[in-house]
Structure 1
Amino acid sequence: MSSLRHLIPRQLVIADNEYLTLLILSALLVLAGIVDYLSVNFSIRSKRSSKNTILLTGLPSAGKTVMHYQLSSGKTVETVTSMMENEADVVLTDGKAATHVVDVPGHERLRFKFSEFMPIAHAVVFVVDSSTVSRQTRFLAEYLYDILSDRFAQSERIPILIACNKSDLLTSFKKERIQTLLEGEINKLRQTRSAALDTQDSEGNENTFLGFEGKDFSFQDLENDVEFLECSAENKDIEGIKDWMASVSL
């Protein structure tokens, strides 16, 4: 304790009672930590108080976090699978207010967190790895189905951009092929999910039949505007993504 005494303001030092002095110091440190925590969380809640938010979603390794850093700082960074959301205010158009962009974790146990942000989202970018899409079509379709059938996506007709990332790779599929694969897989999913139309899932979202009954699924049949765009976040080729985000921003 004597070694820490010089760090304590003289007014707080209680003579002949080092333990009580240490207790006061500890209480002050805890109080400072609480104030800092509340300040940070108040700032985050303020950003989440309006619908000026765009979500970046998708499976792990699709390139969401790389894209997020590109949008927020213009830098390319090495990333690992995110275990929590990344948030940043991004100026998409000079002279206009920044847009709150949230990179939602793609891990299977965490991707449900997108539903927490849907009440304040006005657009969603669903990032797809164009080079592995043929091996992940089922998982992509399931996640995309959850987003498209979300009650806020439905009621607000939130626009969706399917960002076909890594389009520069030789093994990548073109956006038209990716659209065909996803439509075919969602068409199959409707058969297994239609039985649960009157139930609610663990997030409280109503299961919705996408498209028209008796007709193969097509993104064109949705009330949401769904677009496909090729890009390469690793090569900083995301101007099309940024332009789309700017076009749908408030």
Structure 2
Amino acid sequence: MVDLGDVVLDDPVGESLRGRHAHLARRLGRAATYLPGVATFSTVSTDPDPAEWADLAQLLGRGELADMFSSPAVPPPDWEPVFVLEGRQMVWSGGGEAGTGVVELGADSVPEMLDLVARTRPGPFWPRTRELGAYLGVRENGVLVAMAGERLRPPGWTEISTVCTAPEARGRGHAARLVRALAARVTARDERPFLHVAEANTQAIALYERLGFKTRKHVTFRGFRIP
């Protein structure tokens, strides 16, 4: 049974852009997307009409990617599918201790963060993505080897994202440490953590389940090329 408090998770991009990420939004009519360099996610209403899709196309530009995240809305037939990825949305159910041995990553850490993302490919991360929320890392001998951060922020919730560890530093519990540390920060604000994970990433799903996350629903991530 779905809690009334988690209905906002059905449209996490839209809820974030209308709320705590409004200062990072570009908007035209009811269509909205993030500023360049922050994130590529876009949103439309639950039942968009052709004019709303036209607004999103104008907002993004010809030939650009409309990253619809988990929105089930069906775009115009001439919008070319670019990717489809099956995934799941998981919510934290409590438990566990706060992670230790992590450091806060500021603007001066962006080059290292981009390098780590390029090596591990945890999902989209851009030069300004860290503006979405707090990002934490683990350093070994001064080198950034693992990180995770806060991304979408619908009311009452914060998404944990970009969980990644360099190949040479895996198996040392860094991902668990970072997720626990972020979960502790989120709950200290009287919010609940949630996250998204690719269905094929069974190892990550198992880790998140051990850390107290439970599957809320299965989702499909989709992107389209604007003609």
TM > 0.5 fold call? no
TM-score (norm 2): 0.30
State the TM-score, normalizing by the size of structure 1.
0.28
Q: Greater helix percent: which structure? A: 1
Larger Rg: 1
Which has more strand, going by share of residues? 2
